Amino acid sequence: MLGGGPISTPSVSITAEPSGTVCTVTVTTTTKADIPWTDVTIGLHNISDATELTAPTKPTGTVSGGDLISITDLVDTKQYRVTSVYTSTGGTMGTATWTQ
């Protein structure tokens, strides 16, 4: 049998800073340093209207503190949630919720 132990889902801390119709989501910390952004799925949900929105563009390279994701065309007074999912496990890495 090849490989090591089971794959676990790393976690990230993310913050959301809304302004006007834009929200900047920042990765503040991560528990694993070598996760390629290609192995992460980003989900964007309008909680107020119970709809899933088009995912924002992800950064390139590996996930690290200071990475920024810019989300545009948001509606004032609506509540949103962004979720990062590690595709290898399907587990949620981190979530941020805010009111625009």
> pLDDT tens digits for 45-100?
999 999 999 999 999 999 999 999 999 999 999 999 999 999 999 999 999 999 99
In a domain, 3, yes or no: no
* pLDDT the model gives residue 33: 87
Q: How far is Cα 59 from Cα 6, in angstroms, rounded to an integer?
A: 27
Contacts (Cβ under 8 Å, ≥6 apart) of 60: 37
DSSP string, 42-74: EEEEETTTTEEEPPPPPPSSB--TT-EEEE-S-
Give the domain range for residue 27.
12-99
Q: How far is Cα 1 from Cα 13, in angstroms, rounded to an integer?
A: 34
DSSP lists the bridge partners of residue 52 as 45
In a domain, 2, yes or no: no
Number of domains composing the chain = 1
Residue of 58 and 3 predicted with greater confidence: 58
Q: What is the CATH number of the domain that holds 38?
A: 2.60.40.10
In a domain, 5, yes or no: no
Query: Token digits for 68?
Result: 């920024």
In a domain, 4, yes or no: no
